[in-house]
């Protein structure tokens, strides 16, 4: 697939995800989900800006996060297709097998680093959502919370896919797992802070 996921209609994206092609897969769909979660928070801020222009900086920050999350969706597709190409390399001779193994490991690392970066960006978006929550009022507060729910879900889904690659890393597996766990814990902590504000308001 060479076209951007964002050039597809929602119906086409849904159909392509449900089809037999391995892309878009969990990582790219999770990034799309994160982008929509971020977009919901931005919507709440844009509505708030009608009465409170001081949220302009927060909107700019959110748009930057949104751009990064949107790019992560296409990047995940590219990384996984690179991995598939490495898997298809010839392995008839010992030299070919060694070359293929090196390529597969390198592609696996890249296909894990990409989701890790996307998940870290989603954590930043969760922290941003927590920061802007106090300035959003009215019914759109629920959109900020819904956006945070989607962001947390996207992090968990992204890391689940990345974890599947770690088994191929040998001695480096423990270090990668620790990094995955750190991002997961940061996401849960950020989302918990957002949830705690809801409990306090009751």
Is pLDDT larger for residue 116 or for residue 164?
Answer: 116
Q: Using CA atoms, how far apart are residues 154 and 93, in angstroms rounded to an integer?
A: 41
Q: Where would I find the H helices in the chain?
A: 10-17, 26-48, 56-87, 94-132, 141-166, 173-201
The predicted structure's pLDDT at residue 199? 57
Identify whether the C-beta of residue 42 lies closer than 8 Å to the C-beta of residue 54. Answer: no
User: Tell me: the pLDDT tens digits for 32-77?
Assistant: 999 999 999 999 999 999 999 999 999 999 999 999 999 999 999 9
Locus of tokens 């977009």: 39
Question: What is the share, in percent, of the chain residues with pLDDT greater than 70?
Answer: 97
Q: Measured at the alpha carbon of residue 158, what is the angle toward residues 30 and 71, in degrees to the nearest 5?
A: 55
pLDDT band, residue 200 (cuts 50/70/90):
low
Q: Using CA atoms, how far apart are residues 137 and 123, in angstroms rounded to an integer?
A: 23
User: Tell me: the pLDDT tens digits for 110-151?
Assistant: 999 999 999 999 999 999 999 999 999 889 999 999 999 999
Alpha-carbon radius of gyration of the chain: 19
pLDDT band, residue 202 (cuts 50/70/90):
very low
Domain boundaries, the chain: 21-201
Render the burial of 162-176: b for 16+ CB within 10 Å, e for the rest.
bbebbebbeeeeeeb
**pLDDT, averaged across the chain:** 93
CATH 1.20.120.680, applies to 21-201: yes
For residue 1, pLDDT over 50 is answered with no
């Amino acid at each position: 697939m060479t076209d951007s996921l964002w050039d597809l209609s929602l119906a086409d994206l849904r159909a392509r995800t449900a089809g037999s092609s391995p892309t878009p897969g969990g990582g790219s769909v999770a990034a799309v989900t994160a982008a929509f979660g971020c977009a919901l928070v931005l919507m709440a801020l844009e509505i708030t800006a009608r009465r409170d222009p001081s949220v302009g900086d927060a909107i700019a920050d959110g748009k930057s996060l949104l751009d990064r999350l949107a790019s992560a969706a296409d990047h995940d597709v590219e990384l996984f297709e690179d991995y598939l190409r490495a898997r298809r390399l010839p392995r008839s001779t010992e030299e070919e097998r060694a070359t293929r193994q090196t390529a597969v490991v390198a592609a696996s690392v890249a296909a894990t680093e990409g989701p890790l970066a996307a998940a870290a960006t989603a954590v930043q978006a969760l922290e941003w959502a927590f920061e802007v929550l106090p300035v959003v009022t009215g019914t759109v507060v629920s959109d900020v919370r819904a956006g945070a729910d989607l962001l947390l879900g996207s992090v968990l889904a992204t890391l689940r896919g990345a974890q599947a690659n770690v088994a191929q890393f040998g001695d480096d597996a423990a270090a990668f797992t620790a990094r995955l766990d750190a991002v997961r814990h940061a996401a849960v902590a950020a989302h918990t802070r957002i949830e705690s504000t809801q409990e306090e308001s009751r």
